[in-house]
């Protein structure tokens, strides 16, 4: 009996040793061939405003299972082409507020919608600064903008307030349960596990190899959806709290307060509506009879913003018609396994914003999706 136990232990040790050697060889091979690179453990976030924001002069490579991109921030703590001082003064500039799709998750700066928009505006002597932060909602972006404007030498000429269903629906969510650890925003009640995963993914090419292989298999063989339908059913639900008259009124009060503050700076507020890609799929499935009885409505948010802008005399840019047209033509708007806008979609949006908002070309914006 004792010999059997000893033999079993030896076999287990041999198996474990063999696996460790194989993993070591895989790790070395991934690094030598350049398939994995250590991008540093520290992220690009920092405590800021009422929750968190971006830290100044950060440069980080972000690697996710189906995409990777580089984030640079300027000395003001906003996403930029490169690190270093960002001079905003001497000529007009536009400030852009928003969440992750405006920040440009998944894309290097030049390919983000703000990067495309900004490149075109620069040719006309106008700078564009991206103040958006992933995960932010209205009150967080409002606080961040006011913090910047209070010490800015020159206020922006125009401020784009980019709103999506989450930005509106969670307008007063200020992430009180989130803190920043090693440059990464994490939930306080499970930050150790989250941070451990981040560290392993940064240090181990083997971990990323198997993680990405599993994700790719889910996409190819199991037809895993790019996003959860249940999440968007809740987002667009007719029972969503923000649709109650009181909550709608409170949201509009906060939005008006930000718009009034922008006007007090002698700047012009502009509202831009970004639909969620999941909403197009919901409408498509409903039209095909596959979501019968589901109480959702995707028109609530753009209709609300259109009425608000008309009553307040604010320019409204609605991206939904143009994106719906692309979706109907079969163009993929987002990344695999990720609902953020991909490169081609972001380019289209950046070019649309330029046609709609550049003072010398406003007259060329047609298609009826803009209210002035």
DSSP element (H, E) containing 98: none
Q: What is the pTM of this model?
A: 0.86
Classify residue 34 by burial, with Cβ atoms within 10 Å: 0-12, 13-18, 19+: exposed
The secondary structure of 223-282 as a DSSP string is ---SS-HHHHHHHTBTT-GGGSHHHHHHHHHHHHHHHHHHHHTT-EEEEEE---HHHHHH
pLDDT at 223 over 60: no
CA-based end-to-end distance of the chain: 86
Whose CA is closest to 255, among 336, 314, 196?
Answer: 314
* Alpha-carbon torsion (119, 44, 98, 111), positive or negative: positive
pLDDT of residue 2: 62
Q: What 8-state DSSP symbol labels residue 296?
A: B
pLDDT at 191 over 80: no
Residue with tokens 């972006």: 141
Read off the pLDDT of each residue in 195-208 and give the average, rounded to a whole number. Answer: 68
pLDDT at 84 over 90: yes
| 277 pLDDT tier (thresholds 50, 70, 90) | very high
């Amino acid at each position: 009996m004792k010999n059997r136990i000893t033999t079993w232990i030896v076999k287990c040790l041999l198996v474990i040793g063999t696996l460790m050697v194989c993993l070591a060889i895989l790790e070395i091979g991934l690094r030598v061939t350049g398939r994995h690179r250590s991008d540093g453990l520290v992220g690009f976030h920092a405590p800021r405003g009422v929750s968190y924001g971006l830290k100044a002069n950060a440069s980080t490579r972000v690697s996710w299972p189906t995409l990777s991109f580089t984030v640079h921030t300027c000395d003001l703590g906003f996403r930029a082409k490169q690190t270093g001082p960002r001079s905003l003064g001497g000529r007009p500039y536009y400030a852009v507020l928003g969440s992750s799709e405006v920040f440009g998750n998944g894309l290097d700066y030049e390919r983000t919608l703000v990067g495309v928009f900004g490149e075109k505006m620069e040719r006309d002597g106008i700078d564009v600064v991206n103040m958006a932060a992933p995960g932010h909602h209205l009150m967080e972006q409002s606080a961040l903008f006011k913090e910047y404007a209070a010490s800015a030498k020159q206020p922006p000429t125009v401020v784009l307030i980019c709103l999506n269903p989450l930005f509106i629906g969670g307008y007063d969510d200020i992430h009180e349960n989130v803190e920043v650890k090693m440059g990464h925003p994490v939930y306080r009640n499970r930050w150790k596990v989250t941070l451990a995963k981040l560290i392993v993914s940064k240090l181990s090419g083997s971990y990323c190899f198997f993680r990405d292989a599993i994700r790719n298999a889910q996409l190819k063989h199991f037809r895993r959806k790019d996003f959860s339908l249940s999440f968007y059913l809740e987002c667009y639900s007719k029972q969503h709290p923000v649709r109650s008259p009181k909550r709608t009124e409170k949201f509009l009060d906060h939005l008006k307060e930000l718009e009034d503050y922008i006007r007090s700076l002698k700047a012009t507020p502009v509202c831009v509506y970004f639909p969620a890609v999941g909403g197009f799929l919901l409408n498509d499935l409903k039209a095909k009879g596959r979501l019968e009885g589901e109480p959702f409505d995707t028109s609530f948010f753009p209709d609300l913003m259109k009425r608000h802008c008309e009553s307040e005399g604010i320019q409204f840019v609605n991206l939904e018609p143009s994106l719906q047209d692309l979706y109907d033509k079969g163009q993929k708007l987002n990344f695999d396994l990720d609902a953020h806008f991909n490169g081609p979609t972001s380019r289209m949006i950046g070019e649309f914003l330029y046609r709609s908002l550049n003072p010398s070309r406003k007259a060329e914006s047609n298609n009826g999706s803009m209210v002035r």
